[in-house]
């Protein structure tokens, strides 16, 4: 251990830009992870979403535009346009304790919806990572048309 500390004390001054870059990357990684843990919702893979639907009877909400929803959505998903998405709605208030999975075309809009659900007091919130594109890539079933 003494040899390691001796070499480290020689390495740091000789390679200061490298050490500073490493420290900056480490701090950025830690900040990103802390923010991810504190956001209150989880990113879910298509396999995780399937498990949540089958085992935990998760509510699936698709916040895609109507045209995207009609072109293809996860079977059993309920469509709510992001402009009309209201986590405080009385129907949603009844399911605050059960898992809610939010999805959209790419996964970006669903992250905003998931954040709104967490702020409204929902306990088990998930966003489909990669959206319907990831669902299709996993070769999972897709329903077309209206609800």
Phi-psi domain of 99 (left: phi exceeds 0; alpha: psi -120 through 50; beta: other): beta
Q: What is the spatial distance between Cα 44 and Cα 25, in angstroms, rounded to a whole number?
A: 26
User: Taking the CA of residue 38 as centre, how many other CA atoms within 13 Å lie in the half-sphere pointing to its CB?
Assistant: 6
Cα 117 to Cα 20, 54, 72: the distances in Å are: 39, 22, 24
**Annotated catalytic sites, by residue?**
104
Q: At what angle do helices 16-38 and 2-14 cross, to 10 degrees?
A: 100
CA angle 69, 71, 77 (to 5 degrees): 35
């Amino acid at each position: 251990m003494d040899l390691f500390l001796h070499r480290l004390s020689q390495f740091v001054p000789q390679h200061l830009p490298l050490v500073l870059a490493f420290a900056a990357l480490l701090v950025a990684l830690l900040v990103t992870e802390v923010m991810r843990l504190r956001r209150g919702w989880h990113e879910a893979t298509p396999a995780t979403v399937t498990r949540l639907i089958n085992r935990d009877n998760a509510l699936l909400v698709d916040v895609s535009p109507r045209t995207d929803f009609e072109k293809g959505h996860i079977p059993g998903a309920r469509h709510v346009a992001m402009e009309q998405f209201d986590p405080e709605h009385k129907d949603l208030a009844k399911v605050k304790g059960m898992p809610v999975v939010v999805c959209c075309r790419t996964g970006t809009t669903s992250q905003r919806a998931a954040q709104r659900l967490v702020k409204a007091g929902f306990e088990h919130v998930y966003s489909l990572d990669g959206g319907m594109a990831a669902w299709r890539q996993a070769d999972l079933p897709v329903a077309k048309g209206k609800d």
